[in-house]
Amino acid sequence: MLVIVAPGQGAQTPGFLTPWLEDPTFAARFDWLATVAGIDLAHYGTEADADTIRDTKIAQPLLVATGLVAALDLFPHPADAFARIGAVAGHSVGELTAAAGARVITAEQAMVLVRERGNAMADAAATTATGMTAVLGGDRDQVLATIERHGLTPANDNGPGQVVAAGTMEQLAAFADDGPEKARLMPLSVAGAFHTSHMAPAVDRLASLARSVSTHDPRTPVISNRDGQVVHDGRDVLRRMVGQIANPVRWDLCLETMSDLGVTGILEMPPAGTLTGIAKRALKGVETFALKTPDQLDAAREFCDKHGEASMIETTPTWRMVVSPAKGTFHLASEAVERDVLAPGTTIGAVASLRDRTDITAPHGGSVVEWLVEDGDLVSPGQPLLRLHPEATS
């Protein structure tokens, strides 16, 4: 089972784009997305120094454009991808790359959103001096307790031994003087406390734009880095990406879901290396492939052929599918099973695990074609629960 992942801000390095732009087709496609964003991304990906491309306004569009165009190189016939990819996920801004790759939004919509996301986050970061510090090692419970004690937010929980604390510079200075035992602290060179309440103004800006964005249900399961759940409603994918700007990235839960799905191979889109490095530590026995340069494309395609299999979500224009967001026990809502037609937003049941309980709705509604589970069944992330035929609207 193959999962494609897209990295977040910090993955970029000076000149990383140079070998990719030697291909005229890649260069032309990249120029189109750069034009949509209104930024000379080719310059920043080839000639700019590390400090310049660290700028949030530049780094975020640069990463998304690179991932989207590289995906077309990896899968020259995009429809072929959906017969191989079991799920997609993105770390922070990488969720926009993943969402566009899953056809939730278009590449052009992704570039407008990421441009405005970068601008809004940079503006929010400028209001107060904030930052982020990586915490490497240490006892997890003690690390989280110390972060909380200093009034900081665990902005990125990336799995075993890697949590990123974020907050004001004063809070981070106190944290550095009184940190968790047996942990190494590494201040990150970022513009602000991303994925914390300090980014609330950026959420407001993106939420306003998102109201005008048309979406489609994903063609392959999207693993949300808000809580690791599989999301199969396009509007919900977009809502989560907007709200996630000011909420922690739970990559640890994404990795847990990948394990629940039975992942055997993880391929990271360029500029790759960060997420595959985390996966090697957290998911023992799972093969990884960090796609860094175009001379790796043939090997990457072989990797996809080796691990690829179609997702459980079949696509057809004649019916819609409601799927499970997580692993657990399915509890059927009695009022739903008694109806032949469900109104949009009807709760059909819930999935309960040891960690939480999540209500499941039929966001689009429709005529019940077939129940695919029964009350009390154990379900996995992305497993189809109910098939619906869309109702005609006047």
Q: Which residues are catalytic?
A: 92, 195
Find, among 259, 204, 264, 254, the residue nearest to 230 by Cα: 254
Q: What is the phi/psi pair of residue 43, to 5°?
A: -60, -50
CB atoms within 10 A of CB 283: 19
Strands 287-290 and 265-268, by their bridges, are: parallel
Strands of the chain (E only): list them.
2-6, 85-90, 130-137, 153-157, 162-168, 183-188, 222-223, 230-231, 265-268, 287-290, 320-323, 328-332, 341-342, 346-352, 357-362, 366-371, 378-379, 384-389
Find, among 63, 72, 59, the residue nearest to 23 by Cα: 72
CB 179 within 8 A of CB 163: no
Quickly list H helices, 47-162: 50-53, 56-74, 78-81, 94-101, 107-127, 140-149
Identity of the amino acid at 220:
T
Contacts for 66 with CB less than 8 Å, ≥ 6 apart:
16, 17, 20, 30, 45, 269, 270, 271
CB 381 within 8 A of CB 335: no
